[in-house]
Amino acid sequence: MSRITFLLITLFVASCTKESNELSFDTTPKIDLLSISNDTIIEFQESISFSISYEDGDGDLGNPDPNINSLFVKDSRLQNEDAFYVQPLAPVGESISITGNLTIELASTFILGNANTEFVTFTIYMLDRNGNKSNVIETEPITIIK
């Protein structure tokens, strides 16, 4: 094996190693909206699905206790947000950087008023087990029709 090939292999292996204590991401969760299933739905007949990506530097997203919610979605037409349970996305007790995707499905969205159409946006955020709140993302307007 030539010295150049050996040097290149050594540099490649050295670049692949990572300090075990070094976190790849911030310990405050970060989310991004990847996609929305529909921008127009028929009330009571179609659901809305949001695909989001997440990253967290210490892997404490989700909760082993099903009574503790980690994901929050707010309909712009309502005062209160809906809360959803998310199972742990990494082993509990481990401090590891994680990244992945989640799908949120909202069934039976309907018109609140008397009109034949209504527009809605949704805001989404997550809380980790240490109480760190992710950034808040907002969807584009979605049309609901009768």
Domain limits, the chain: 25-145
What does each C-alpha distance from 71 to 52, 81, 85, 109 come to in angstroms? 11, 10, 7, 18
Domain 25-145 = CATH 2.60.40.10: yes
Mean of the pLDDT values across residues 55-80?
Answer: 96
> In the Cβ-directed half-sphere of 95, how many Cα atoms lie within 13 Å?
8
Mean of the pLDDT values across residues 37-55?
Answer: 95
Per-residue pLDDT reduced to its tens digit, 84-133: 999 999 999 999 999 999 999 998 899 998 999 999 999 999 999 999 99
Weakest-pLDDT range from 7-11, 41-45, 132-136: 7-11
Per-residue pLDDT reduced to its tens digit, 72-81: 999 999 999 9
Answer for the pair 98, 1: CB distance below 8 angstroms, yes or no: no
Per-residue pLDDT reduced to its tens digit, 2-26: 333 333 333 333 333 333 445 578 8
pLDDT the model gives residue 90: 94
Answer for the pair 70, 85: CB distance below 8 angstroms, yes or no: yes
Global pTM reads 0.82
What does each C-alpha distance from 108 to 9, 13, 65, 69, 105 come to in angstroms? 56, 52, 27, 21, 10
pLDDT the model gives residue 108: 83
d(CA 71, CA 102): 10
Task: State the DSSP code for 95.
Answer: -
Answer for the pair 104, 52: CB distance below 8 angstroms, yes or no: yes
